[in-house]
Structure 1
């Protein structure tokens, strides 16, 4: 029996912990379910809007196809279309207002080699004195852009160009001719690109045939093709204005021909590699050519997840679990106190019983003695009777005291039972009331902002620490010779353009002008494009860090054997005595810089590994010029 009581007491002592843990576990399950529900709702919204972006792009392509069909109808309705008539037709379309993103509408005609010179004279006679068919090399036949409206500065650069001479354009023109339908080209750089704001582009073609022939067979279409109406597009301008895309909720990348690679990348809205909570990989068939849309959520979109009720539930559950623990802990203390008081009462009762027993024995002895005395002295009989009555009264009083002590013990046990029952009833009533009012507790919204701000600060410091760790890991790999390089023939101008676009946003709100000057022809080198981009971004980051105002210029040029890239800034420059040391690890030109001192050391190591010569020309207070010399690869 005693062992059973001890077991019950132990179980009762752990009740505060068990009750609090069970209640918090239930609360956490509900919190997790509410949290998952909130993220699932955001996922559904992301999926819906991703499909909406796809629909908008497809709708825009269809509208541009209608523009080309209208232009084809113009040519089919007349024997010949003059330049002025074509200009009037395109102006009536109001491209800027009704068809945003399109650069213009043009016509490219086929020119036999025998009629090339006469054709050039004819177009020059129409007022375009510098007209010529380019490129100049001999071919089986030529095509020439003769009309392109609006006839602005960008579009003038394309007049006379033979699009059939370039592979991507030729494939699309052949596909449109053979299928007698709209076709678009792969990723190209338009002739209209002439400034620093270079974009990838594509072209849309629709064939024009000799209308006197039905052109139902492939052979007939190839023999009677007259030319193509077409439209050029700059991809950034093409994407501008999509309603669901204009906010900052999504990062969109577009890859040509269904291949996700840097080479096929046509468009990257934010040009960053941050991990996203949601992403969607969608394939669009655009006029017979596949585009891959990679749509990713941004932190702005992900912050829309509604965790307020879930967080309130978790907090309320934690508070109530602590309260429940406190109540049960108090019950344990009350029970221990009651047991101690009961033990003391039992001890007192035992003492009183002993006293009563001793008193009875004493009284019996005294009665026996008095009886003997009565037998010896009868003459004093009355006196002895009186004494005996007194002794009987004392004995009765002692018995009454013993009974009172027993009654006191019974009353004490009853009182302790009441004291235990009262708080237990309060706990039951409070729990019932709390469950009844729980939904109203969730309406309190004053508990979220501080927690969110704290988590943002933790996240920001965690990202900063992660960047420092990444720098150290990269340099450690470089020191151990464990950096992997994938050498391939790449166009340096493309990597420079990517570096320019990635860096440009860092200059918002500064007094720095950022210029990009690219060599007019492709610069082909055998390098690792990803590592070379890392080198450029590191050098540009240093230029921005030490240039408070003025300009930064990224430029390229070449000679017979080498390609040169220069990054020039108007910053504070580097003292001559410090220039040799800045490429050493952990060395900084400015001791006040908060960096790790690993950047230029890592740049030097990667340049050495890829056979790139890096040099510095700088004067203190006069800015700096970093030059990269790369051996040219002949194509």
Structure 2
């Protein structure tokens, strides 16, 4: 009952009469805030109107001043004609260059002269202009019913858009003609209404106007209109593109004010000659003013409106003050109200913090208990390496699985190296370094650790790497699992498979041999029914032999007993042999096998193992291709260093659900008792192991109902051509990776050395036996052995004992012999400078030692 009524009690306490002072303070503060806001709004409104009027007046004055300046330019040009009489084109150009219009009056399109011509003078005028070098000049448009022509003769700058106006008769267009007649009759400067200039040849079309100043013949009376028209010599004028003109007048767009200009005394959309960019819609602006500006016989209607930035500038403080005032009022109220409740809330907060601490402690204890039980249940050990603090911790179980008591060994970051079996340590260090440098956070690996009793304990290590923001490792934590029992069971299984396979092989050989003799007719002809049964028995005994061979191969691969006789072979010959050996099997299924697009290259492989791979590919393709179908063996070269061998069938394809398990041991797409295709499911697993051991990779491409292509890629053996001897020091490059080998060859050849290159130990031994070299580079990991073997052989041979060797390896740690000073160790990747410096130093040291 008390818990239910507690919230209502707090509400009643909130409105208790003892809090009347707090409510009074709130009311007074809100009233003061309202008065301040009202005063601020009135003040801001007056300031905004005053500022808006100032911007409007500044804009109008700028337009009037610039148009007056442009009139002065034209009046000065008219004065040039009055003083000189006839003005040449060169004089007109020099006059305009002096004006520097583009720099001083941005927005003006140019300054020109239009000559007044009677129809009788038109032909002579055209011939005179053409004689100046403008052979294409003509007056346009021409009409027989006009009594006066005013073609544009001069217009500077005479380039770009202005070229389109040369020869244009402005009197032919009504709006221009009206302004020109008004200027000629009054003798005063006039501007046109809205027109489209001849200069609008490309880009956005802008509204245009033209300003005219009339020119009269010298000495003629000009008191009457008819006299002025009769004495008219032409017009000095300027065309303006309104957008360019207004940008020149107003400068950069004012973010606080927008402007629209209409030609006429009303705001008609079709008479709009200028509008500011992103101008607001009419009626949306808070401040707006319409003005009419009289300019040289025309009336412009200007609509000036405020932009949101202008309005926000004068009203930004209103919301802030309202928020601050409301917040201050509420703060005063809450401070006054909280005085009576502060002690009770402090006590409640302290009690809640105490409960939280207790709850967190209980949760931590429960979490530790769960972790301890989980580790006991899994029988795993827990370990933690703090790289920043340099400390190592291992749980009791982690020590017990190695026969030690907790604390019996000194714990430091190098402890794990002392526990790892000595021959495994270099590889373990390399693997750890690669893991630390990679971006991964989790890792799993197997290590062989030394038990206190001296026996070797296989351990599965799982770990998590905690990194800083730069990706550098700070802490490594994880678990360790004793794999002794797991390995024992696995060994028993492998031994059982090996024993059974060998025991089956002996009687099976006798059975297959005996059946082969009988079916071959060695004991005479058998009745047809018995002959058919004997052939079935013989065929299945052979099939059983193949299955046992697969089991034995997999057992050898698993035990690490599979050896490879790596040699250089012609790929074309291997492919032909594979087709020949599988031709009988294909004929039995009524399938044809063809070889397409063979590539004449050499590969470094075990020939028998590659034949086994190709037989696996071909036999699978034959089994799954329908009778009368075709299996294709073909080659391609995906890059310069590898060749791809592909076998394509016309079978049903591989189901998507099985594609991820194709190369797993004992995996079969149809694993039911009634499956139509036999086999152990080991062929492709063995194929994958063989190809990867020979430095290649395997894969497949398939689509259901459209067949399958299995392929393998193998490195190409490049022919080691001997460079012509021109007296340079001769070097030997031993590198199995094609791209790296080519790079080293180019680096050394560019430096002036004669270079031979090989990709295997076998080829290197042959080169060293037949050729004398000044030095050699060596990769430690080669397809047919370790480079360390070659180092030992070179040092034991009196002819090559002092041969300088540069070891180039990706290993992060080298077991370097400090006494052998003729070996230089470089870590991949290397630059040309590193290689050449190391080679120079090594050769120099070798000469001194001799």
Scaled to the shorter chain, the TM-score interval is 0.3 to 0.5
Please tell me whether Structure 1 or Structure 2 has the larger radius of gyration of its CA atoms: 2
TM-score between both structures, scaled by the size of structure 1: 0.47
Which protein is richer in helix relative to its size? 1
TM-score between both structures, scaled by the size of structure 2: 0.36
Bigger RCO (CA 8 Å, 6+ sep): 1
